[in-house]
Amino acid sequence: MNTPISRPIASGPALIDPFGRHVTYLRVSVTDRCDFRCVYCMAEDMTFLPKKDLLTLEELERVCEAFISRGVRKIRLTGGEPLVRRNVMSLIEALGRHVKSNALDELTLTTNGSQLARFASALHDHGVRRINVSVDTLNEQKFRTITRWGDLKKVKEGIAVAQKAGLAIKINAVALKGVNDDEIPEMIRWAHGEGMDLTVIETMPLGDIDGDRTEQYLPLSVLRAQLMDQFTLEDIPYKTGGPARYVEVKETGGRLGFITPLTHNFCESCNRVRLTCTGTLFMCLGQEDAADLRAPLRASEGNELINAAIDEAISRKPKGHDFIIDRRHNKPALSRHMSVTGG
């Protein structure tokens, strides 16, 4: 990718869905590839997309700029693992210029932390100020079991480098019954002791994985009740733009978030759409309906076709998702893996 050129973003009409919600948050999966194989996210033997199907980094930048011109104020880069995509830092540099010009409020990243030691300083240089790091356990052997290929020591080293570079970090942990649910109190103390927020997430029924997903599912209402035996949790209005509902943990002084797509969905205030690395736009994480932005993007050098495709897609954004854990048939609600749409 060539050195990004700073150019003004022309403004167009705001993106408003059929239910009056303003779409101001774009999540972009820059790759479906990852250097981990987390048990709730991927099968161990994954078949990844051929390179020809992927948007180039220049094309990803063009689509992002089209959304910025329509009122998107926050972009989160995801994967797979976004930092394993070759030359991804050039895309981050390009989008970071829109943060510096105030066209974007925030450019953020969700990562497994494996590449943080290498890239943290550059992320900060390019305008990223806050990242999410996925850590589901503090037990090194269990971490290896959950991620299949991950190294907890390397992730912790990356977190330390990122904090030193000036990045605020939120830890994301998927709550897995019988796997890490007994560790959540320890993780709260660790994260808050290191100056980091922690968010726990219900496992989502996406993609065929190895094993029985119903055995992993832990309602966060149950987890919260368990945590209240040890902690004083006070609801607070803190928001990051995402779906988490936050409490303050009185004993630690830190923030704890809950993302509950099954027990207490967050659809009524949804301001998000998700773009995959192939140019497919999902208006809802929990629905199959999607729009192809790659074809209009490649059909014209201008933005008329891409804007028309975006408008048509937003007009179909549903009221909410239909996630369920199918205990009778043990099948995912949707066949695509979480790594395809972006975590």
Query: Is the pLDDT confidence value at 135 over 60?
Result: yes
pLDDT for residue 140: 96
Averaged over 80-106, what is the pLDDT?
Answer: 97
Residue 315 pLDDT? 96
pLDDT-wise least confident of 75-79, 102-106, 111-115, 281-285: 281-285
Mean pLDDT of the chain: 87
Residue 127 has pLDDT above 90, yes or no: yes
Query: What number is the average pLDDT over the span 56-61?
Result: 97
Per-residue pLDDT of 234-256, as tens digits, reads 999 998 877 899 999 999 999 99
User: Which residue would you say has higher pLDDT here, 218 or 171?
Assistant: 171
Least trusted range by pLDDT, from 33-42, 75-84, 91-100, 103-112 = 33-42
Residue for token digits 């943290």?
A: 120
81: left (phi over 0), alpha (psi -120 to 50) or beta: beta
Summarised one tens digit per residue, pLDDT across range 171-202 is 999 998 899 999 999 999 999 999 999 999 98
Q: How far apart are CA 181 and CA 298, in angstroms?
A: 46
Residue 116 CB contacts under 8 Å (≥ 6 apart), including other chains: 83, 133, 155, 158, 159, 161, 162
Instruction: Mean pLDDT check: name the lowest of 29-43, 47-61, 158-172.
Output: 29-43
- Does residue 294 register a pLDDT over 70? yes
Q: Which CATH number fits domain 25-341: 3.20.20.70, 3.30.559.10, 3.40.920.10, 3.90.550.10?
A: 3.20.20.70
**pLDDT value of residue 210:** 52
Residue 287: band (very low, low, confident or very high) from pLDDT cuts 50, 70, 90: confident
Give the span between the Cα atoms of 68 and 7, in whole angstroms: 12
* β-bridge partners, 280: 292
* Residue carrying the six token digits 């209005």: 237
At 263-277, the pLDDT tens digits run 555 567 789 999 999
Mean pLDDT of 96-111: 97
In this predicted structure, what is the pLDDT of residue 289? Answer: 84
Give me the mean pLDDT over the 203-223 stretch: 68
Number of Cβ within a 10 Å radius of residue 332: 19
Average pLDDT estimate for 42-55 = 84
Return d(Cα 62, Cα 76) in angstroms, integer.
15
3-state helix, strand, coil in the chain (%, to 5): 30, 20, 50
Taking only the tens place, the pLDDT of each residue in 299-335 is 999 999 999 999 999 999 987 755 444 444 444 444 4
Task: Output the pTM of the full model.
Answer: 0.87
Q: Is 80 exceeded by the pLDDT of residue 169?
A: yes
